[in-house]
Amino acid sequence: MFKYNSCIYETCGYYPHYPRIYFDDYGHFVYAHRPVCCTLALSRHFFKGGVPMDSIMQRYELANFDDFSITGFLVPTGHYAQKIGLIDLFKQHLKIKMKTVHHTPVEKIIELFVSMIAGCPDIKTVNNRLVPDKLAATAWCQKQFADQSRVSEVLHRITPENLLQLEEIFQTLFDEQSLTRYHPRNEWLIVDVDMTGLPVSPSSRTYEGATFGFMQKEKGKGYKLTCPYTGGQFGEVLGGLFDPGSAHCATKLVDLLLLIEKRVGSPPSSLAKYKTRIQPLLTQARILENRARRREEEAFHARKSQRRSILQQRSKRLLIRAELLRERAAQVLKTLESFDTLRQHNPRRGILIRGDAGFGSFEDVMLLSELGYDFLLKGYSPRTARVLAKGVAESQWGRFNPIVYVVELGIIKLSGCPYPVRVVLGRTKTGKSQVFQYFHLVTTIPEKLKDATGLLKLYNARQTIEAFIKTGKNVLNLKHFRVRNFYGIQFTLVLGLLAHNFMSWARREIFAGTPLARMGIREFVEQAMRVPGRLNPLEIDMPITLFPETSVYAQALVHATEKKSSAQMFLPFSN
């Protein structure tokens, strides 16, 4: 039964029929003198057993929300995109062959970019989060965002030429906005390198170019993404290399170094050491060709057909080996020319390459040494570390933490590597007593700058690139492919890397002078972007976007904006 509540007269006194509602001596509803609506009789102002009850009937109506945004911070980020010329760069460089009906192909690509920084996990979320948001669309120079099917359609039209155009956009924005421009060139710029797997269903046959390979902890089917990243105060990704799942990180080091030099400059050393690779390869190829020629002569003079056939097969194998050596020499020459072209006009600076064991093979150490890079790498083979540990006494081990111990081995020459390098050996306790796992660090950093403990701390700081990869996969949703053709996936991934840099730059601009200027990308996407905003209807000449006054992100935004405005007011006027 429903009990009478006297508050009903005060909250809803405009109903003249309330005195006609009758209750018994116990306060229970009996009947109404005249018909009343169900919403009135069973409203929240009646109680059942002293407990408030929600309305059984509610009214819902539609309204115009064009001046409201559920992701309010798309407005200031859109204004920042206009300020740095991002939208104009897309319109200027990106040429996708597709007809325009309501939205141009470039507008759809910009919408895909916006969906990434808004935290949309896939394209279909665009319809609920972006399409109704006309306020955010206006900030990004559009009347209204396109339907998700139109955005998906444009990704099927991506060509290799469009990938080159996106690379031009990436390079232009990086040159103009990157914080690495201000890093002292006489100090090391630490660049972390890493490769991550992007798995798909093993039984899927629709993902173009997906192959089987090692994906994180197990074998699977998918793709590989290799990235150089500057962590710390920069938090910028320099780009990405996209390959089928069978690719190995050791084979991508040359392409990574070319990308790094294109973005941030070249090391001060010359290419003389690397150039010495060519002549031994050509000499070995000529030796094999001469041996093959002698086998052909022997086969010509052989009396037995079986002997002749064996000699001819040997000659073919020698010629194949010689051809492979000449191809390697041609590849080295091509790589040499690529680096030489970059270094003719690139600024010179100190660069330290930091990578895990995937980049720690002897071949990679040789390549970095010959190209003049400083490096800090984890050794590729645990077997090498175990062999080195046999010559270390127990008293030499120094404690790094309760389970890790390190020892300095100095500058030594490892088997298979012609260049002497500094080696720090480490061991980690396992669950079994007196059983350790060994590893070794290979570096060019002098011991006077970093001792063994400091070197291991510096190596562990590469967790920034691990955090970046997790952010890219789980926050920018790079692991969720918006399309299944190879070029479309590659375009989307590079666009996601650009979105990461854009947000890194935007947070410093939007929250300048506040502690939130250093917030993480995850917090920016999952927290700040969720702050709603609306347009002030009273301001017609100068539109003002209003944010909730209780939001710390809105408070920081307004504080930063007012601080910049006051600073501009006191600038001297030029004649």
Is residue 24 very low, low, confident or very high in pLDDT (cuts 50, 70, 90)?
A: low
* Distance, CA of 258 to CA of 169 (rounded, Å): 18
Q: Where on the phi/psi map is residue 49: left (φ > 0), alpha (ψ -120 to 50), or beta?
A: left
Is residue 567 very low, low, confident or very high in pLDDT (cuts 50, 70, 90)?
A: low
Is residue 400 very low, low, confident or very high in pLDDT (cuts 50, 70, 90)?
A: very high
Cβ-based burial of 295 (10 A; exposed 0-12, middle 13-18, buried ≥19): buried
Range with the poorest average pLDDT among 18-27, 116-125, 361-370, 436-445: 18-27
Query: What is this structure's pTM?
Result: 0.84
| 394: pLDDT strictly greater than 60 | yes
Chain CA centroid to CA 128, Å: 25
CB atoms within 10 A of CB 134: 20
Mean per-residue pLDDT of the chain: 86
Is residue 570 very low, low, confident or very high in pLDDT (cuts 50, 70, 90)?
A: very low
Query: Which has the higher per-residue pLDDT, 428 or 232?
Result: 428
Range with the poorest average pLDDT among 17-31, 48-62, 406-420: 17-31
pLDDT at 38: 42
Is residue 568 very low, low, confident or very high in pLDDT (cuts 50, 70, 90)?
A: low
| 69: pLDDT strictly greater than 90 | no
pLDDT at 217: 75
| 574: pLDDT strictly greater than 70 | no
The 8-class DSSP code of residue 386 comes to H
Is residue 535 very low, low, confident or very high in pLDDT (cuts 50, 70, 90)?
A: confident
Q: In the chain, what percentage of residues exceed pLDDT 90?
A: 59
The DSSP bridge partners found for residue 378 are: 441
| 543: pLDDT strictly greater than 80 | no
pLDDT at 3: 42
* Distance, CA of 442 to CA of 356 (rounded, Å): 10
Residue type, position 359, single letter: F
pLDDT at 52: 52
What's the whole-number mean pLDDT along residues 349-357?
94
pLDDT at 172: 95
What's the whole-number mean pLDDT along residues 89-93?
94
pLDDT at 176: 93
The 8-class DSSP code of residue 395 comes to G
| 36: pLDDT strictly greater than 60 | no
In the chain, how long is the greatest CA-to-CA distance? 128
| 569: pLDDT strictly greater than 50 | no
Residue type, position 54, single letter: D
pLDDT at 269: 87
* Distance, CA of 33 to CA of 18 (rounded, Å): 10
Helix, strand, coil shares, percent, the chain, to 5 = 45, 15, 35
Compute the residue count for the chain: 575
Query: Which has the higher per-residue pLDDT, 14 or 123?
Result: 123
What's the whole-number mean pLDDT along residues 147-159?
90
